[in-house]
């Protein structure tokens, strides 16, 4: 007796069907577990429409709301480019005028958040140049840092406060010392440490901004930051370049 030979085309079709099913299941899992990642990858899948290139928002907004969003983004980009000299990053911006929209794309109670250093999500409370430029600063800094090089979370957050010129945590630029609250000990290094500290101590942002603003003041401002990025990309450890609090 001769055994029947299976049709290779049927085998490939079955394999393709299984692979497709697995990919769709994985995609569904990512969508459920990380809606913010999915939303920044496919804004239209979450009911957002393109208002400008790389800027997405709800499609039923009034002209006044659209104008406010556009003005916010323009001013935020200006603050980032003014500080850095130029803006090298172009993050995808997802801006919600309603809390229900923001929660649908994975947001919480925060005003805004940077997603994987390539996108920015803003809540209704975050449609403001200060909040927008703060989050854009995170993306810009990490866009300039090559893979494998990073900075402590306190420096990243403190720098974002300076770039956004956030009056909640800094004295006016005309002040000799912009500090409102000086650090009295070590500042959070990791993201988890930062989230824990910031949730317990309302002055964490101000302390970090103080440390960064003083370092910039004493080392040449923008030139110091650009030099820092260059040295970090060359492999020099952060701790040898910037003193810890």
Q: pLDDT tens per residue, the chain (245 residues)?
A: 444 455 555 555 555 544 433 333 333 333 334 688 899 999 999 999 999 999 999 999 999 999 999 999 999 999 999 999 999 999 999 999 999 999 999 999 999 999 988 899 999 999 999 999 999 999 999 999 987 788 999 999 999 999 999 999 999 989 989 999 999 999 999 999 999 999 999 999 999 999 999 999 999 999 999 999 999 999 999 999 998 88
| Cβ neighbours for 153, distance < 8 A, ≥ 6 positions apart | 188, 189, 190, 191, 193, 194
CA 233-230-162 angle, 5° bins = 110
Q: Are 133 and 188 part of one and the same domain? A: no
In a domain, 11, yes or no: no
**Looking at 98, 116, 144, which one is the last position of a domain?**
144
Tell me: the pLDDT tens digits for 100-158? Answer: 999 999 999 999 999 988 899 999 999 999 999 999 999 999 999 987 788 999 999 99
- Do 68 and 58 share a domain, yes or no? yes
The verdict on 105 and 187 lying in the same domain is no
Residue 138 tokens read as 């995170």
Both 206 and 245 in one domain: the answer is: yes
Q: How many domains does the chain have?
A: 2
Q: What is residue 21's predicted lDDT score, i.e. its pLDDT?
A: 39
DSSP state letter for 170: B
Q: Which of 113, 144, 175 is the last residue of a domain?
A: 144
Contact 124, 136 (CB under 8 A): no
Backbone phi and psi for residue 108, each to the nearest 5 degrees, phi listed first:
-125, -130
Say yes or no: 211 and 190 in one domain: yes
Residues 6+ apart with CB under 8 A from 213: 158, 162, 170, 177, 178, 179
Dihedral sign of CA atoms 36, 37, 40, 41 in order = negative
pLDDT at 69: 98
Does residue 175 belong to any structural domain of this protein?
Answer: yes
pTM of the predicted model as reported, rounded to 2 decimal places: 0.85
Does 200 reside within a domain?
yes
pLDDT of residue 82: 96
CATH number, position 72: 3.30.2010
Instruction: Look at residue 34 in the predicted model and tell me its pLDDT.
Output: 62
In terms of domains, do 90 and 64 share one?
Answer: yes
User: Residues 75, 169: one domain?
Assistant: no
Residue 36: the pLDDT is 87
| Domain extent for 129 | 39-144
pLDDT at 116: 85
């Amino acid at each position: 007796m001769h055994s029947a030979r299976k049709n290779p085309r049927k085998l490939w079709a079955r394999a393709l069907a299984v692979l497709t099913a697995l990919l769709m299941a994985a995609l569904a899992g990512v969508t459920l577990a990380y809606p913010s990642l999915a939303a920044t990858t496919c804004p239209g899948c979450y009911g957002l429409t393109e208002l400008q290139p790389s800027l997405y928002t709800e499609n039923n907004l009034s002209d006044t709301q659209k104008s406010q969003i556009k003005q916010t983004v323009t001013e935020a980009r200006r603050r980032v480019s003014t500080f850095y000299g130029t803006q090298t990053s172009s993050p995808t911006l997802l801006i919600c005028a309603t809390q229900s929209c923001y929660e649908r794309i994975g947001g919480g109670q925060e005003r805004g958040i940077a997603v994987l250093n390539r996108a920015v999500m803003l809540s209704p409370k975050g449609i403001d140049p200060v909040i927008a430029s703060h989050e854009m600063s995170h993306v810009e800094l990490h866009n300039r840092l090559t893979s494998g090089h990073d900075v402590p979370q306190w420096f990243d957050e403190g720098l974002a406060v300076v770039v956004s010129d956030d009056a909640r945590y800094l004295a006016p630029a005309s002040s000799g010392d912009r500090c409102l609250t000086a650090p009295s000990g070590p500042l959070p290094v990791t993201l988890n440490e930062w989230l824990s500290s910031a949730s317990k101590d309302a002055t964490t942002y101000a302390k970090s901004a103080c440390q960064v603003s003083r370092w910039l003041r004493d080392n040449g401002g923008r030139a110091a930051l650009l030099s820092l990025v260059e040295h970090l990309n060359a492999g020099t450890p952060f701790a040898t370049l910037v003193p810890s609090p």
